[in-house]
Amino acid sequence: MSTAMNFGTKSFKPRAPDKGSFPLDHFGECKAFKEKFMKCLRDNSFDSSRCRLQSKDYLECRMDNQLMTKEPLEKLGFKDLMDPPPGPADGDTKP
């Protein structure tokens, strides 16, 4: 597509990924998580918003198995899926 000789039209410029490349999962350690994710997608007619939990699980699996650099999940856009931080100790409890 970038060989179209139209002068003045912008051609596509591929950009490197922000965090680099995923190492290949040669041993299929996270295959189970992937299957869960794919099943979720198929069930929800490929709506990505509904399968974010499964994608979070898959990425956590990758991080656990040295297939991805460990990063806090907020940086990967999963802020809304995180457990809320524990609130202050109950001050309402009556002795």
Partner 1 sequence: MLLPVMLRPSLCCPLQASLLLTRCGAPRTPQAQFEGFLRRRLPPGLHLQIRTRRTRSHQEEWRSHQEERRSHQEEWRSHQEEWRSRNKTVLTYITAAGVGMIGLSYAAVPLYRLYCQASGLGGTAVSGHDAEQVETMTAVKERVIKVTFNADTHASIQWNFRPQQTEIFVVPGETALAFYRAKNPTDKPIIGISTYNVVPFEAGQYFNKIQCFCFEEQRLNPHEEVDMPVFFYIDPEFDEDPRMARVDTITLSYTFFEAKEGQQLPLPGYAYN
Task: By CB under 8 A, name the binding residues for partner 1.
Answer: 1-2, 9-22, 24-26, 28, 30-31, 34, 37-38, 41, 45-49, 52, 55, 58-59, 68, 74-79
Comparison of 28 and 91: residue with beta carbon closer to partner 1 = 28
Comparison of 66 and 79: residue with beta carbon closer to partner 1 = 79
Q: How far is CA 92 from CA 41, 65, 78, 85, 95, in A?
A: 43, 43, 32, 19, 9
Tokens standing for residue 7: 């002068």
Helix (H) or strand (E) holding 64: helix 52-64
Tokens standing for residue 66: 């040295």
Task: In angstroms, give the least distance from the CB of 36 to partner 1.
Answer: 12
Comparison of 14 and 87: residue with beta carbon closer to partner 1 = 14
